[in-house]
Structure 1
Amino acid sequence: MLDIQKIRADFPILNEKVNGKPLVYFDNGATSQKPQVVIDAIAKYYQEINANIHRGVHTLSQLATDAYEIARGKVQHHINAKHAHEVLFTSGTTFGINLVANGFASILKPGDEVLVSALEHHSNIVPWQMLCEKTGATLKVIPMDENGELIMSQYDKLLSVKTKIVTVNHISNALGIINPIKYMIDKAHEVGAAILIDGAQAVPHLKPDVQALDCDFYAFSGHKMCGPTGTGILYGKEAWLNKLPPYQGGGEMIKEVTFEKTTYAELPHKFEAGTPNIAGGIVLGTAIDYMNEVGFENIQQQELELLAYATKRLLEIEGLRIYGNSAAKTSVVSFNIEGIHPYDIGTIIDKLGIAVRTGHHCAQPIMNFYEIPGTIRASFSFYNTKEEIDVLVEAVKKAQLMLS
């Protein structure tokens, strides 16, 4: 069991007031808050070892390079990648997905098919649409049902020898539904297709084992798991990363350059052009250390308790509907109140110090499926409490009374 008050003391922003009220932060699906150890680590890098990496023989450059590569090793261990060079530092999930989509432009041809799911964030839709427009491939969509679950029988039917890559989120950012990705990975491989998993919403809640999953690519962001913004990871199987061309050209990603021909560096540097977010990469390692110290089993237990409690309390409100009802779900409650626009609820409860997300959550196809303009999304982290949920419920009731 977690000592929640001790955990909360690690996060200085949780002591802040918003509009004169104690902050209740329920927008963790957008970004998590940062513990003091992460904040301190950012300052420590710039105060003590700030230098460019992989290039200098001087001491500071060596220290910064060592710290950066140690962080890569931490990520490798955390996700159980076979090799450290299968771990690419990126600016976030979006960058990782675009890197893979760009690479597949050299592989796809007219008549090939790309499968995406109906539950995807725009970042896992638009790059594949652009890829299909460029290559003449066809984009096909795995449908969802009223519970917010993907229809696996339809997925099975869509798969064929024409399928070259499947891309699906591990957990839906809009609904909190956990997709059956191991099944989907295995079925994709049966037809010879690659598969990319968008893990942005998964890594704050669980430790993905990429070897056990056998996924070809797994992308996630650091800022959703207590790390700095502008950080992310793309895991790719060595064979696939060797097959794909570089995403960007520049310094660091080259082996030799002449005006006649350029040869590229070995993995991972082939995909890491230019000066990276050095502090961010190092401190992402700090954030992973922190979360592992808290313990992912503890995190999951706390967040599932919050999910169950919030679901029960919110459903006490007359006219309230929750979207995304599945036994496989993480700590997100996406809801509306009959006859009231979600934006109006969000605006009122913000005045009471409560941060939630309102709108389509960059997942407009989901909202179109339900024929709604958006939802109110309360997304919880392990540092949240049941008492904060009580504050949310009372605030929503107050907003409902004001707007009815």
Structure 2
Amino acid sequence: MSGVQRVLVANRGEIAVRIIRACHVAGLEAVAVYSDADENSRCVHMADHAVHIGRSVAQKSYLDPDALLKAARTAEVDAVHPGYGFLSESGAFARAVEDAGFVFVGPRPSVLEQMGDKAAARAAATAAGVPVVPGTEPIDDPEDIRRLADEIGFPLLLKAAAGGGGRGIRPVSSVDELLDALPAAQAEARSAFGDPAIYLERAIQHARHVEVQVLADGHGNVVHLFERDCSVQRRRQKLIEEAPAPGLSEETRQAITAAAVRLAEHVDYRGAGTVEFLVDDAGEFYFIEMNARVQVEHPITEVVTGVDVVAEQLRIAGGERLARDQESITRRGVAVELRINAEDPERDFAPTPGEITELVLPGGPGVRVDTGITQGDRISPFYDSLIAKLICWGEDREQAYARARQALAEFHVEGVSSTAGLHRTLITDPELTAGPVHTKWLEERLG
């Protein structure tokens, strides 16, 4: 792989394990980083080398650009892979990586900044001929907000321009509610994202969340790996994902994947990315954002297409062209991913950090488990509470769901509460198995 032989994995947990595996398969060396809390983590033991980067709190380790760059220099790597979360979509970090002489495994800094600014991303989508949800540019004058809200119509979403991952969003149903929510929303946006800018967007009722995986090599070649449905979510955090999206007409599928490719081409994208859409009851779709990184749910796309998304990221970072063209990428079967978190659904999904005293993982045909932990590890209070992702494939939807039910029956964890029990209930729900469901389905079902 030209130009890249040693990669710093600037992340932790299951995505760090995933990247290390891809590096080793490609014949590359992988360097892990770890905080105080992760000293004995699985990714540290798997890597060829590991560098301590700071204290347990993320701001003093995985969110510290200086610590990561120091680790990159110490380990004498060629490239830095940011994974997802943390600094993966930070244009400033990507630029600092490149300025330090390393390859950033991801989009160019300017594209990260463009896609990270929701108003700029909407403008790019519009310029690329991609439908967007009716909305506004960033605004702060209450009188402008009142007028624009009336023009768009309620219900609306009050959104942080620099937000992402389902955060920085407040639904409002009237002008009074909007004006009351504005100061708090601006303060929240400033605190969470360092930018108080807010914009308005029409709330599409009973919409589905459908996203398209794209790959672009920076040489003008862009392909899509079809779509995923991520509508089973709570407070805009995904719990179950499925590929392909159930019940999507072939006409809509072709249109939505073509739109994703157009956007990637328009912004001169490089690497793996996901273009996210809302799809209404009539099959009309609207761009909402582009996640300029590898997604948590990328494995279901891998198992239905046979394309290794992380391997392609590494190839592209090494300056190579895409290994496959669009005509050669086909889809086979159905895959579903279940995110098992250390959370207690009976206590409003409160995190339950602690030691994993027992862990039994499922197996069998069509079952893949992505995890960064082993029995005896601790779920840290400092980071995301993900225990494992169960990825279940079948020749059709019925078989995929049957394998998911069996995988859940085999999965067992002790020492922390988990969402596995909730998944066992959901995966047999007749509304979900009949599919598709909308993004409010789970919240309505949970009451």
TM-score normalised by L of structure 1: 0.29
Task: Specify which structure has the higher proportion of helix.
Answer: 1
TM-score normalised by L of structure 2: 0.27
Task: Specify which structure has the higher proportion of strand.
Answer: 2
- Report 1 or 2 for greater relative contact order, CA contacts < 8 Å, sequence distance ≥ 6: 1
